[in-house]
Amino acid sequence: MKKIFQYLPDAIKTVARTSRANIPWTKIGGQRRWVSETYSKFGLEERRRIFLSIARFHHINRPVPGYYFEFGCNEANTMRMAWDSFHYLFDRQYVGFDSFAGLPAITEIDKQEIWEKGKLAYDEQLFINQVISNGMPREKLITVKGFYEDTLTDELAAKFVPQKASVVYIDCDLYTSTVPILKWIPQFLQVGTVIVFDDWNCFKGDPSRGERRAWHEFSKEHSDIGFEPFVSTGEAQSFICIRVG
């Protein structure tokens, strides 16, 4: 059979391989089904648990008004989940901050095989379309395009104050990307703000790297702001702000 297969035209080989991958009882087909029905589904459920836990926390402890700030937008998976989880209960403005050009240059501290400059680039308009087609009215969504080091300025903050943030969702993978976010965010914190680190366990959970490192530095510098741990998953960790300076 293998011998016959090698003499088939490439186009037919491709069709045969694709068909085989879709048959659940072959090894490759079974693996594909497990990835979509078990592995990826589990990842989605874990994230949904975070968002719905925030919805319940904010509903029980209402009011915690203010923005949903998302740092790291990419394919709009989390922005859509935020809308799905919050809009029946709260009237929020949703703000997505992203370069829309992917990751910045990777410096020494963030070096890891999977990261490279420009990876995870996603077109801003495509992101907006994804969010809108999921039901969010256009006027509810604001995007801030650019690298955080450049965009998170006092001038930008002036456009958003005096309203605070109810949720700060950080999903930008790198230490160097998280630092400017945490520098900019204190002015938007209030008692009840939930801050989520989607990539808490990147870098094998090493506390001297990634979002964990940025958070530990931030916490040391801001002893006036208090947090308590909230929901965590195998990938993410969240905190509730319990005291502002």
Ligand X SMILES: C[S@@+](CC[C@H](N)C(=O)[O-])C[C@H]1O[C@@H](n2cnc3c(N)ncnc32)[C@H](O)[C@@H]1O
Q: Is 192 in the site for ligand X (CB under 6 A)?
A: no
Catalogue the E-assigned strands of the chain.
67-71, 94-98, 141-145, 165-170, 194-197, 226-232, 237-243
Q: Does 85 bind ligand X (CB under 6 A)?
A: no
Q: How far is the CB of 243 from ligand X (least distance, A)?
A: 28
Give the residue among 143, 164, 234 at the shortest CA–CA distance from 197.
Answer: 234
Query: If binding is defined by CB under 6 A, does position 78 make contact with ligand X?
Result: yes
Classify 204 in phi/psi space as left (phi over 0), alpha (psi -120 to 50) or beta.
left
Does 99 participate in binding ligand X (rule CB under 6 A)?
Answer: yes
For CA atoms 52, 56, 58, 59, give the dihedral sign: positive
User: Quick check: 210 and 203 in contact, CB under 8 A?
Assistant: yes
Does 128 bind ligand X (CB under 6 A)? Our answer is no
Question: Which of the stretches 23-31, 58-66, 75-83, 236-244 binds ligand X when contact is defined by CB under 6 A?
Answer: 75-83
> Cα dihedral sign for 184, 187, 188, 192?
positive
166 binds ligand X (CB under 6 A): no
**CA quadruple 66, 71, 76, 82: dihedral sign:** negative
Out of 50, 54, 64, 76, which residue is the one contacting ligand X (CB under 6 A)? 76
Closer of 119 and 243 to ligand X (Cβ): 119
Q: Does 206 bind ligand X (CB under 6 A)?
A: no
Q: Which of 50, 64, 73, 95 binds ligand X (CB under 6 A)?
A: 73
Which residues lie near ligand X (CB under 6 A)? 72-78, 98-99, 102-104, 120, 122, 147-148, 171-174, 177
